[in-house]
Amino acid sequence: MYDKNNIFAKILRKEIPCNKVLENDYVLAFHDICPQKKIHVLLIPKGAYIDLDDFNSNASDKEILEFNKAILEIVKLLKISNKNNGYRVLSNIGSDGGQEVPHLHYHIFGGEEIGKMVA
């Protein structure tokens, strides 16, 4: 069950501020407050989805399309697209996957070499 009091839900309700990168009717993207790379942005859907499984099972086709289109828009805005040196998109799902906030989110990293996928 979705927790309406998770930090991303509070950010969406503007109870907690964020350093916004992109926002539209479907998504919000903002800089991570504890960046792990030179560029570290979080992309979240505005709908109440726990993880990627929940999102792909329950979101509308339009929500899914807009969420994925937002990645390209963000990397272009931040000048880390494949035309530059590239980027990494990561989503942690469930406890074994390391998910800490029960709201679907993608981490978008760039601006420097990211390194191996798994150490």
The values of phi and psi at residue 10, to 5°, are -65, -35
CA atoms within 13 A on the CB side of 117: 5
In the residue annotation, 40 being an active-site residue is answered as no
Query: Which listed residue (31, 40, 103, 105) is catalytic?
Result: 105
Catalytic residues, by residue number, are: 105
